[in-house]
Structure 1
Amino acid sequence: MFFMVIFASGVSAYDGVYGLGTEEQEQWQEQESSIMIAGYQVSPEVLMYNDIGTVTVTVKNMESAKSVNIKDARLLSRDIKVLSDSYFNIGRLGPGESLNLTFTIKAVCPDGIYYLKILVAGEDAQNIRYSIPVTVDSSSLTIGVKDIPEDIFKGERARIELAIGNPRHNTVTAVKIATMEKNVIPSEVFIGALSADETKVASFNFTPQTNGAHILNFVLEFKNGDNYHSTDLSVPLNVTDSKKRAELILTGIEVEPMLGTNAYKITGDINNAGLKEAKSVVMKVGDAEGIEAMNPYKAYFVGLLSPDDFSSFELDVKVGENGTQVSLPLVIEYKDEDGNKFSKTEYISIERHQGTTTSRELPVSMIVLLVVIAIVVIGLIAGV
């Protein structure tokens, strides 16, 4: 926003006034006046192409003892479009009083400096005119990558810093950067006002879930006056697997059936064969048809596993009665040093024994044993 006080008489040195005939122009040029343009204000200070703005002109009565009557005021331009109507029958201004007149304009012209003519008519041919410069510059804000990791790994958080600069000659407002990428947080960074030649930095965190090429799209939005503008930025990235992450593997898996049930006890070791710590490690049975985790070990909390470290675990599971072989999913969950969550699933095979029954039935071997014992007892009694 720009405001200027003009210490000048009401007679302008410019020749020619748009929209007036030759005789009228001579009258405007030669007439001295007791009213003058005391200042003007252009908002926004610098317009972009197709921007809508305002020009506010301050008209002042320079008389110290008498009032003057203001008949009308007009704003004229060959290049910039004046959207608002002229003022008519404005009224009287007392001694030393001022009046603000606001006109709405639109920059429909190429970049450059344009001079608008303000014409004010008073009583007794007290007419004044003045040229008001309006600048049109369509330069947008700039956005680029300030800092990004050289290597970006799957599942690991990468910090991306974007630099936003204002190469314009005026302050812009409501500056923000937004993204629709689901693996980028936050989704929006609000900067607010950005002064001329000022630069600010916005930070985002990207946690990729897949390898390969990725393109992150960002939108920079801002306001010039009441006009919205935007510019886009695309950041190409390549995601690979980290060679320095935790790597958890299972060894020594044993499956022990629980007598008289369809339940099994799963034991084994979980090892960290990677180069980074694995935190909050949890072992649990995955979801699958006919598989049900049981107490007391539905899940097993291991905790911290340092590189080359291991821990034992135990899980209890019940399987369905259909089929003789079951594929059991074992889920490993953990976090890295930055708190990123990871999950992997290993499968083991369980072979159901023919003698395994539900808890309401006796095993076949037990029934045979009882029959043999009964026969022996009966034989002994008969021998007696």
Structure 2
Amino acid sequence: MGVTTIRSGRGIRITVLCIVCAVLLLAVPASAAPADVTVTSFTLDPPVLMRGDEGILTVTVQNTGPEPVAISRARLYGDGVVVLSDPYPSVGDIGAGNTKQFSFTVRADAPDGTYYPKFVLEFRDDGSLRYPIPVRVESTELQAAVVDRPDTFSEGREADVAVRVGNPRSSAVTGVRVVPEGTGFTAIPSSAFIGTLAPDGAAQVLFNITPQESTNLTFRVVYQNGRNVHETILPLPVSLGEGKIRADPVLTNIEVMLDGDLYRVTGDVTNAGLDTARSVIVTSAAPAVPTDPFRVYVVGTLDPDDFSSFEVTFETEGNVSEVPLVVEYRDEDGNLYTEQSMIALENRTAAEDEGGLPLLPIIVALVVVVAAAAAGYYLLRRRRG
């Protein structure tokens, strides 16, 4: 009887111990299944890469299950892109309902197209998540064109040049600016900032160009695709010539008179051009010596097809047969222009020697006297007859 009682006590204790162990095992929470972890979103900055560009690919995963999931590592396998970042060697747990982001730096080394690098998330217990992510490579550059310019550039004269920049890409670019480069000219402004250009967007900038010589002007369009800097080159040859729309002062009706040692020149100055001549003056140049009272004759402003009379006085030394008359004027930008016309001193329309009488009145008087004498003689003969 005593032996039976001892064995029964031991069996009861073993049974109780088994029950306690079972309860403890049931109290331990079970891990969520790998199927509860999924990729919810991904972004690429910039959204579309140009060949050779670097970008940052960010993948967001979420644990949609009720319990944490243990993650051992995460990495990206390249396809059309080179992965520059190291994999994540130890991730840890993702709590229930939580999200986690993984970022990778990539470089586009493949031709234009769409590629699918694979994002792989390895679970600590068993299995993995594999997710292909589309990456677009498009190497289309910004387009630039000169949409307005003068027919001819003139030395020292300002001219407006308009440059239009368009974005034919499927993604926006930032930091767009246009810089005129080269020698032999000045440009205002020295750089024009546009900023962000949306897909299929365009913007126009205006430069004021003043050339000093024939040269090659280059507009450099600089922009960014993400953190990658690119540029587009737009050349513009600048050849100097005579502008079609400009003033053209012409001297006409020139008369030269000699008054002692003083030459007096009168005439008209006409603007035969298509632009207004401003601050017009007329004077003489060497070998003439401008002398009062009209060393310089100020005409003022001459509109196209307008004219004004002028008078200049000067002296000469030695045997001089012709002298230059100088017309100076300015355009609307203040640029100075000079024109010269040679006039002959021998072909005077009127002249008189100092202290003498005019020749023409003397001849007329003699003709009148002779005619009167002839008429008187004729009348006297008739009376006597």
Q: Same fold (TM over 0.5)?
A: yes
Residue of structure 2 in register with 1:303 after alignment: 300
Give 1:94 shift: 2.8
Query: Which shifted more, 132-141 or 245-254?
Result: 245-254
Contact map agreement 1:280 1:334 (CA 8 A) in 2: yes
2:192 to 189, 192, 196: 189
> 1:187 and 1:267, CA in 2 relative to 1: closer, same or farther beyond 3 A?
farther
Where 2:89 maps in the other structure, the secondary structure is strand
> 1:88 and 1:334, CA in 2 relative to 1: closer, same or farther beyond 3 A?
same
Where 1:281 maps in the other structure, the secondary structure is strand
Residue of structure 1 in register with 2:28 after alignment: none
Residue of structure 2 in register with 1:343 after alignment: 337
RMSD: 4.7
Greater helix fraction, Structure 1 or Structure 2: 2
Give 1:82 shift: 0.9
> 1:100 and 1:265, CA in 2 relative to 1: closer, same or farther beyond 3 A?
farther
Give 1:54 shift: 0.5
For residue 222 of structure 2, what is the amino acid of its counterpart? Answer: E
For residue 269 of structure 2, what is the amino acid of its counterpart? Answer: N
> 1:192 and 1:75, CA in 2 relative to 1: closer, same or farther beyond 3 A?
same
Contact map agreement 1:280 1:301 (CA 8 A) in 2: no
For residue 330 of structure 2, what is the amino acid of its counterpart? Answer: Y
Contact map agreement 2:152 2:244 (CA 8 A) in 1: no
Point out where structure 2 has 5 or more consecutive residues left out of the alignment. 1-32, 315-319, 343-385
Residue of structure 2 in register with 1:199 after alignment: 202
Structure 1 position 334 matched with structure 2 position 327: no
For residue 308 of structure 2, what is the amino acid of its counterpart? Answer: F
1:200-215 alignment to 2 at 5 Å? 200-208=203-211, 215=216
- Mapped partners of 1:297, 1:61: distance in 2: 99
- Mapped partners of 1:209, 1:311: distance in 2: 34
Structure with the greater alpha carbon radius of gyration: 2
Structure 1 position 45 matched with structure 2 position 47: yes
Contact map agreement 2:277 2:329 (CA 8 A) in 1: no
- Mapped partners of 1:133, 1:282: distance in 2: 71
Contact map agreement 2:249 2:327 (CA 8 A) in 1: no
Contact map agreement 1:33 1:126 (CA 8 A) in 2: no
Where 2:125 maps in the other structure, the secondary structure is helix
Contact map agreement 1:178 1:220 (CA 8 A) in 2: yes
For residue 332 of structure 1, what is the amino acid of its counterpart? Answer: E
Normalising by the residue count of structure 2, what TM-score does the alignment of the two structures yield?
0.62
Give 1:111 shift: 1.8
Percent identity over paired residues: 32
1:188-337 alignment to 2 at 5 Å? 188-208=191-211, 215-236=216-237, 239-242=240-243, 244-248=245-249, 271-281=269-279, 283=281, 302-306=299-303, 307-310=305-308, 312=310, 332-336=328-332
Structure 1 position 152 matched with structure 2 position 152: yes
Between the two proteins, the alignment pairs up a number of residues equal to 306
- Mapped partners of 1:84, 1:281: distance in 2: 70
Contact map agreement 1:140 1:168 (CA 8 A) in 2: yes
For residue 63 of structure 2, what is the amino acid of its counterpart? Answer: N
Residue of structure 2 in register with 1:162 after alignment: 163
Give 1:266 shift: 11
Where 1:130 maps in the other structure, the secondary structure is strand
Give 1:51 shift: 0.5
> 1:270 and 1:58, CA in 2 relative to 1: closer, same or farther beyond 3 A?
farther
- Mapped partners of 2:242, 2:295: distance in 1: 31
Normalising by the residue count of structure 1, what TM-score does the alignment of the two structures yield?
0.62
Give 1:281 shift: 0.6
- Mapped partners of 1:196, 1:35: distance in 2: 35
Give 1:279 shift: 4.5
Give 1:243 shift: 5.2
- Mapped partners of 1:298, 1:106: distance in 2: 76
- Mapped partners of 1:103, 1:120: distance in 2: 13
